[in-house]
């Protein structure tokens, strides 16, 4: 699978790069960003933290705003950020042009309903295709962690919960914790997966956490001034489901913080260290 390099910039003695390639899962071209820490030049295989961004984002938001590269360089962690949906002239978006569905809003699931099912296969892409690509073309090991924000925070939880053995660490910022019972999730699931709500349960972290096959400790940070907290995010539902299942979830409510990348950059070091404890050494 050839990679076309779009950019390369030195950053904290490592390299921040962007690549375009043809995706089999997404039936089209897609772009991802990757940060290679300086340890990559030693030739050893390094662990990888996959980051899933939220609604309206591309591969660039996290790399430009989270400020993760400094500590990733210190810890020897590769960072990989895919796009948030398939894109291209033949990829359908929201019929009304809304920002919370379709382009930039793939919800990291595999759609089953037309016209979404041909391209909207972000789960398969993130869990299988992207790691295979990264581990072939870069000095990347199969020690994988996954994290993300909002729609992507939920995506990270679902990727880990649905695929035991695939990841060694997981965390999330302000995840859409119970999408089958919030407006963003109901809109996405009803279109991507269809009207049968029983099938939505396969893609909801607050359901999956009660059926987990392995117990990777989950770290979640959530700001209490987040404008989406009550209507869309509902972390208390995830917390209650984890408690009922005796699943190790640490939910930290951070006073005064909102939903922005200012919140993410304030706590990204804690998340990188959470992942490094499982991935490095």
Ligand X SMILES: N[C@@H](CCC(=O)N[C@@H](CSC=O)C(=O)NCC(=O)O)C(=O)O
For the segment 48-67, give every residue that binds ligand X (CB under 6 A): 54-57, 61, 65
Q: Is 150 in the site for ligand X (CB under 6 A)?
A: yes
CA distance 13 to 208: 40
Q: Which of 226, 239, 271, 275 is catalytic?
A: 226
- Token pair, residue 275, equals 């992942």
Q: Which of 3, 260, 270, 278 lies at the binding interface for ligand X (CB under 6 A)?
A: 260
Task: Verify binding: residue 149, ligand X, rule CB under 6 A.
Answer: yes
**Helix intervals (H) in the chain:** 60-65, 69-75, 122-124, 130-137, 151-162, 183-192, 197-200, 205-208, 235-245, 261-279
Taking the complex as a whole, the smallest distance from the CB of residue 87 to ligand X amounts, in Å, to 16
Residue 197 CB, nearest approach to ligand X (Å): 21
- Give the residue among 34, 41, 114 at the shortest CA–CA distance from 82: 34
Using CB under 6 A as the binding rule, whether residue 222 contacts ligand X is answered as no
CB 214 within 8 A of CB 164: yes
| Choice from 6, 8, 99, 248 touching ligand X (CB under 6 A) | 99
Q: Which stretch binds ligand X (CB under 6 A): 41-49, 114-122, 157-165, 255-263?
A: 255-263
Strands 140-148 and 46-52: parallel
Residue 6's H or E segment, with its range, is strand 4-11
Least separation in angstroms between residue 19's CB and ligand X is 21
Q: Which is nearer to ligand X, 55 or 122 (CB)?
A: 55
Binding ligand X by CB under 6 A: which of 79, 127, 151, 219?
Answer: 151
Q: Measure Cα distances from 99 to 56, 57, 105 in Å.
A: 6, 10, 7
Considering the complex, what minimum distance in angstroms separates the CB of residue 271 from ligand X?
15
CA dist list (Å): 275 to 149, 212, 262? 15, 19, 20
128 is catalytic: no
Which residue of the set 119, 149, 259, 271 is catalytic? Answer: 259
The residue among 227, 224, 71, 225 whose CA lies nearest residue 236 is 224
| Residue 232 C-beta: closest distance to ligand X, Å | 8
- Which residues are the active-site residues? 150, 226, 259
Q: Give residues in contact with ligand X (CB under 6 A).
A: 54-57, 61, 65, 99, 149-151, 259-261
């Amino acid at each position: 699978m050839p990679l076309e390099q779009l950019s390369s910039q030195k950053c904290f003695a490592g390299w921040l790069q962007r690549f375009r390639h043809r995706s089999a899962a997404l039936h089209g071209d897609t772009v991802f960003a990757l940060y290679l820490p300086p340890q990559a030049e030693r030739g050893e295989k390094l662990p990888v933290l996959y980051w899933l961004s939220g609604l309206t984002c591309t591969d660039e938001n996290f790399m430009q705003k989270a400020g993760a590269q400094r500590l990733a360089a210190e810890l020897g962690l590769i960072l990989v950020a895919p796009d948030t949906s398939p894109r291209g002239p033949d990829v359908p978006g929201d019929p009304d042009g809304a920002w919370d569905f379709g382009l930039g809003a793939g919800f990291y699931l595999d759609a089953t309903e037309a016209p979404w099912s041909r391209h909207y296969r972000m789960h398969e892409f993130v869990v299988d295709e992207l790691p295979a690509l990264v581990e072939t073309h870069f000095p990347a090991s199969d020690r994988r962690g996954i994290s993300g924000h909002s729609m992507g925070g939920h995506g990270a939880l679902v990727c880990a919960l649905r695929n035991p053995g695939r990841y060694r660490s997981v965390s999330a910022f302000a995840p859409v914790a119970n999408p089958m019972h919030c407006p963003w999730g109901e809109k996405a699931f009803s279109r991507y997966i269809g009207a049968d709500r029983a099938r939505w349960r396969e893609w909801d972290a607050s359901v999956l956490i009660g059926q987990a096959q392995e117990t990777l400790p989950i770290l979640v940070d959530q700001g209490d001034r987040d404008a989406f907290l009550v209507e869309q995010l509902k972390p208390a539902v995830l917390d209650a489901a984890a408690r009922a299942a005796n699943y190790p979830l640490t939910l930290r409510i951070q006073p005064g913080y909102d939903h922005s990348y200012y919140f993410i950059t304030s706590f990204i070091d804690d998340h990188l260290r959470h992942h490094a404890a499982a991935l490095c050494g």
